[in-house]
Amino acid sequence: MKISAANFLSHIARFTPTLAVVALSVPLAFAQNAAPFAAPALVPQSAAPSNTQLASPQIERRVNDLLRQMTLEEKLGQLVQYSDAGYETAADAQQAPGKNPEARNRVDSMQLASTGRLGSMLNTVGKDHTNSFQHAAVEKSRLHIPLLFGADILHGYRTIYPIPLGLAATFDPDLVASVSRISAEEATTAGVRWFYSPMVDISRDPRWGRTQEGAGEDAYLGAAMARAYIRGYQGNDLSNPTSVAASVKHFAAYGAAEAGREYNTTDMSLSRLEQFYLPPYKAAAAAGAATFMSAFNALNGLPSTANRFLLQDVLRDSWRFNGFVVSDYTAVMELRNHGIAPDAATAATKALLAGVDVDMMSHYYDAELPALIKSGRVPISAIDEAVRRVLRVKLALGLFEHPYADSPEVIAAVPEHRPLVRKAAEESLVLLRNEPFDGKPLLPLARTAAHIALIGPLADAGSQMIGAWGGPDKNPDTVTVKDALESRAREAGGSLDYAKGTEITGDSQAGFAAAVDAARKADVAVLALGESSEMSGEGGSRSRLDLPGNQQQLLEAVAASGRPIVLLVFSGRPLVLDWAAQHIPAILEAWFPGTEAGSAIANVLFGDAVPSGKLPMSFPRDVGQEPLYYNQFPTGRPPLNIDLTKAPNFATRFVSRYIDVPNDALFPFGFGLSYTQFAYSSVSLSATSIPLRDAQLGDARKLITATATVKNTGDRAATEIVQCYIRNLGASLEQPVRSLQGFARVALAPGESKQVSFDLGFNELSFYNNAGKAVIEPTHYTVWIGGSSLATDHADFDVTP
């Protein structure tokens, strides 16, 4: 095995390293969410459970049979989860933020597994490793219930594809489903049958480091991505040994953490929650996700891990979710830090009764629940229900029939998977700027480019290319930008001069002179700058969004050489690229592209692949604009016809603006250039009005169709991501200035035109009111179709009373 499980762990583990909702009526439960045990008030949207496999009568019979035989200790065993190190050593416990004061002693996972007192394990990977624990559980424990091994596999196991934010930039759900499938195929060979993924938290604030794990700022795109991950991971059949159960995280609204600070609180209206934050979770549940993970954050004052409104009323009662819920890492224990549980017993009670079935690493359920059941504070029926949910998933996965990893273990990037992850990486790249140099756009570079200077701390950084959750630290399988450009230079008879220039962080300018010198002698300088992969991800909140260290100074020094410059930006979030946008002719946002990083980037730089990625998040001009997102609400004082680049005077001051920066994004949501150009015809609609009574049919999938023609007016075959936005004017609550309600990837040969249509139904046209109900009112709609959130071609219609 090239990369040991321990290595992998030290990187990924915290301490070791469509039916529309027509009647979602929950004001009471929401308003009273401080009373977590309030009776559910949601009206189910559908009687059918979210995952039919989990609802199978055969599985239910087996669950009942097992449950009858289980002791309380064995039941609680199914509800706790530890890593292979068990809980933590006493020394770790002193330092760990998630320490459990009542449980300083190390929990012995192997011993628990052999005695039926452990249900699942996290971030325990590797065929031999997982099999050894599984043998203990299956052969030694009394009831032979297999363990479930879960791991943070977010964008590839050994063959790594772009971080989820980069994947979202592809606007390509089919591709996302395909790469998700290959990571399931790879990881299951190492015993992992459960991914803590997809992470579907909407993030409108790139200061939050976990922005990189999700699909960005938009609920419609986020929902499409969420469905794609579930399809890829779970396939049609959980019992297929190459399928994994998904864990949709982090439920809910973790991405709205105030000021972008990690683990911070969130607070929002019910309509905002329903309309802008919940759709991806809901889509994942509807796609049959087998498990959910409760979030660390509090929502409106109540931690998600004790939030019955979220976990019962919304998730189970309204969405009919029938899988199980696992807490986030020590989140049950953290209820004490949140100040809503004075002791471990209260924390365990609140979490369990709110609907958290499995306690990840807190060591509270097994330690506290026996006494709580004895005293009657927690009914045994609540334990039984949680155990049932866990067993259903294990049975649906076929773990009882094939508990062991028994196919050849994938221990390195898989050659057959490389073309697909390369395609994903190519599609994820977003061309932000491509200005002429010597009369024509700088990119693509001539294939025969004579002499390239490659500069920057991310040019030859294989381990950085794979992102924060991407696998082992030292990934020997990654193609760096330097590797790929060197081999191009060899093939084309050119040459490559590499100069690191500086480190990702730090202030030494010792390498600047060599970098500037290399650029001076080159036909073109390619700068690979940005963040390290650790600067985003969990615990990676930043207060600044600039290029870290002295990379900005390096960029300016190299730019002063006067040579044409291509800037490659590696980042787990939107960065402030204001200076670069004014001075650097070509900018390519690369995110963290994965194992095939260098090859994908080289293919795009030299035009073998044409960029098609579009931004899943707005790139600000200044960090002070955050949270900045395209689907903002209007204000009473919009700065119409005012030049916001100029300091205000009396006439231009009293509008919604800053005095020192324009309001808009530097690069807006949905934006991305190509090597060709696209032209849009005006938008046409299938009707000019819809009667309200038709629109109110909650399951109406198609009320009106919007169509536009898109033409490739350039001379290269390319793919355009055609986007459809709507605005709803005159509703009882203000609605966003526009919101994405459809997209399509359209491949066009030079000169070719295609008609693109978007069906708009109840889901697309409705909004949520503050009673948590999705409604359509007799209002006026504008529909835009175009290549970004700034699309200008539009048509209008009305919903008539």
Instruction: Kindly list the catalytic residues.
Output: 328
The nearer residue to ligand BGC, 89 or 552, going by C-beta atoms, is 89
> Which residue of this chain has its Cβ atom nearest to ligand BGC in the complex?
196
Backbone angle region of 636, left / alpha / beta, with phi > 0 → left and psi within -120 to 50 → alpha: alpha
443 neighbors 434 (Cβ within 8 angstroms):
yes
The nearer residue to ligand BGC, 192 or 443, going by C-beta atoms, is 192
What residue ranges in 634-695 does DSSP mark as E strands? Answer: 678-680, 684-685, 689-691
The nearer residue to ligand BGC, 82 or 196, going by C-beta atoms, is 196
Binding status of residue 538 toward ligand BGC by CB under 6 A:
yes
Report, in Å, the least distance between residue 329 CB and ligand BGC.
Answer: 4
Report, in Å, the least distance between residue 199 CB and ligand BGC.
Answer: 7
Binding status of residue 272 toward ligand BGC by CB under 6 A:
no
Distance CA 441, CA 443 (A): 5
Site string for ligand BGC, 4-33 (x = CB under 6 A): ---------xx-------------------
763 neighbors 783 (Cβ within 8 angstroms):
no
The nearer residue to ligand BGC, 124 or 571, going by C-beta atoms, is 124
Pick from 15, 157, 194, 196: which binds ligand BGC (CB under 6 A)? 196
- Pairing relationship of beta strands 704-712 and 586-589 according to DSSP bridges: unpaired
Tokens of 648: 């205000």
The nearer residue to ligand BGC, 79 or 414, going by C-beta atoms, is 79
The nearer residue to ligand BGC, 124 or 728, going by C-beta atoms, is 124
Report, in Å, the least distance between residue 685 CB and ligand BGC.
Answer: 43
Angle at 407 between CA 198 and CA 199, to 5 degrees: 5
Site string for ligand BGC, 30-59 (x = CB under 6 A): ------------------------------
Report, in Å, the least distance between residue 4 CB and ligand BGC.
Answer: 18
> 797 has which bridge partners?
781
Site for ligand BGC in 329-348 (CB under 6 A): 329
Question: Can you tell me whether residue 374 is helix, strand or coil?
Answer: helix
Distance CA 108, CA 87 (A): 8
Binding-site residue total for ligand BGC (CB under 6 A)? 10
Report, in Å, the least distance between residue 14 CB and ligand BGC.
Answer: 5
Distance CA 227, CA 254 (A): 19
Instruction: Please provide residue 71's backbone torsions phi and psi, each rounded to the nearest 5 degrees.
Output: -80, 165
Site for ligand BGC in 552-581 (CB under 6 A): none
Report, in Å, the least distance between residue 277 CB and ligand BGC.
Answer: 17
Report, in Å, the least distance between residue 695 CB and ligand BGC.
Answer: 39
Report, in Å, the least distance between residue 304 CB and ligand BGC.
Answer: 11
Distance CA 781, CA 779 (A): 7
First vs last Cα of the chain: how many Å apart? 68
Distance CA 552, CA 579 (A): 9
The nearer residue to ligand BGC, 195 or 619, going by C-beta atoms, is 195
758 neighbors 746 (Cβ within 8 angstroms):
no
The nearer residue to ligand BGC, 155 or 249, going by C-beta atoms, is 249
Site string for ligand BGC, 99-128 (x = CB under 6 A): -----------------------xx-----
What residue ranges in 352-510 does DSSP mark as E strands? Answer: 359-360, 430-434, 436-437, 440-441, 451-455, 495-499
Binding status of residue 460 toward ligand BGC by CB under 6 A:
no
Tokens of 100: 């459990």
Site for ligand BGC in 136-165 (CB under 6 A): 152
Report, in Å, the least distance between residue 539 CB and ligand BGC.
Answer: 8
> 640 has which bridge partners?
none
Site for ligand BGC in 197-256 (CB under 6 A): 249
Report, in Å, the least distance between residue 83 CB and ligand BGC.
Answer: 9
Which is it for the CA torsion 766, 771, 773, 777, positive or negative?
Answer: negative
Own/partner pairs for 256-261, CB < 8 Å, 24+ apart?
Answer: 256/202, 256/203, 256/204, 256/205, 256/297, 257/205, 257/208, 257/297, 257/541, 259/205, 259/207, 260/205, 260/206, 260/207, 260/208, 260/541, 260/542, 260/626, 260/627, 261/207, 261/208, 261/541
Distance CA 552, CA 718 (A): 32
Nearest residue to 279 via CA among 21, 47, 43: 21
354 neighbors 325 (Cβ within 8 angstroms):
no
The nearer residue to ligand BGC, 89 or 689, going by C-beta atoms, is 89
The nearer residue to ligand BGC, 114 or 188, going by C-beta atoms, is 188
Site string for ligand BGC, 300-329 (x = CB under 6 A): ----------------------------xx
Distance CA 112, CA 676 (A): 61
Site string for ligand BGC, 491-530 (x = CB under 6 A): ----------------------------------------
Q: Which residues bind ligand BGC (CB under 6 A)?
A: 13-14, 122-123, 152, 196, 249, 328-329, 538
